[in-house]
Homo-oligomer: A and B are copies of this chain.
Amino acid sequence: MAKAIRGGETCAIARTTDVLRDPWTFLILREAFGGVTRFSDLRANLGVASDVLTQRLDSLVSAQVLRREQYREAGSRTRSSYHLTEAGAELKIAVAALQQWGDAHLPVECGPTVARRHRSTGVPLEVAFVDPDGRRVDLVDADFERTAAYPT
């Protein structure tokens, strides 16, 4: 097991899934990618208990995926809103890649619940490997190479 534990610590995949592990986390991120920021809107959209939502939001703030801000509307008390950090925004790629695979290979009868589209042109987007010139690279040309840091 020593190797496995060491593999887990150095494995970037394991570190990312640690952040994403909880099903609520995915649902919160899906809302955040859709532009929802207010605690009250998240609670209403997800049908989740306040204490559960608070706990998951705290954990995403700790992971520096979300940033907490305060806002106040006239005549109301101060409330919290949650905004994607740069790291949080980049998580969109990983979440979209997971969605895309599930839609393609574990489809459900009702079809995909979320589509990924270009904000201004509306064309469907995919997640794929790209080269430094921003051109799509075929899957067969994408290699995983071990670095010197790979556990031996």
Which residues of A are in contact with B by a Cβ distance under 8 Å? 1-4, 7-17, 19-20, 23-24, 26-27, 30, 33-34, 46-48, 64, 87, 89-106, 108, 110-121, 123-132, 134-137, 139-147, 149-151
Contact = CB atoms under 8 A, between A and B. Distances in A.
A147 B113 contact: yes
Contacts of A98: 12-13, 16-17, 20, 94, 97
A11 to B, nearest CB: 7
Contact of A139 (B16, B90, B121, B134): B90
B12 A113 contact: yes
Q: How many copies does the complex hold?
A: 2
Given A130-B125, A136-B130, A14 B26 contact: yes
Contact of A11 (B2, B7, B27, B97): B27
A116 B92 contact: no
A15 B33 CA distance: 19
Given A47-B3, A106-B12, A127-B129, A142 B34 contact: no
